[in-house]
Amino acid sequence: MNLRSAALFAVLAGATVTNTGPTVVDGDQMASTFVTTVGRQVTLKGGARASNVFWQVGSSATIGAYSSVSGTVMADQAISLKTGAVLNGRALARIAAVTLDTNSVIQP
């Protein structure tokens, strides 16, 4: 498992998750927040599967308008998908709500 840690993970220009095969599990762990700005993409390459990618967030996650993220987003507080955002995965919030606004959520 490849697990990285950061206080804030912001996708400002796009991001890529690359794995060597479909059974490799990859994850990112943020102590605080996960944010994508408008129209950003988190792309899977190298056989990576959304079902094997996990985003562990210490507080809240915001998927910006018209952005696309793959994987399971697990937040301690809330998860918000802004207008037109696409999630290829799952959104799991422990304490607060998962808020959707004209979104597509695709089961990985």
Domain ranges of the chain: 2-97
How many angstroms separate the CA atoms of 59 and 102, rounded?
23
Secondary element (H or E) of residue 108? none
Length of the chain: 108
Residue 22 has pLDDT above 60, yes or no: no
pLDDT per residue over 64-73, tens digit each? 999 999 889 9
Q: Which of 61, 64, 48 is nearest to 16 (CA)?
A: 48
Neighbours of 20 (CB within 10 A): 9
Q: What is the pLDDT of residue 58?
A: 85
Handedness of CA 59, 9, 1, 15 (dihedral sign): positive
pTM reported for the whole predicted model:
0.78
Whether 47 and 27 have beta carbons less than 8 Å apart is answered as: no
**Is there a contact between 68 and 49 (Cβ–Cβ < 8 Å)?**
no
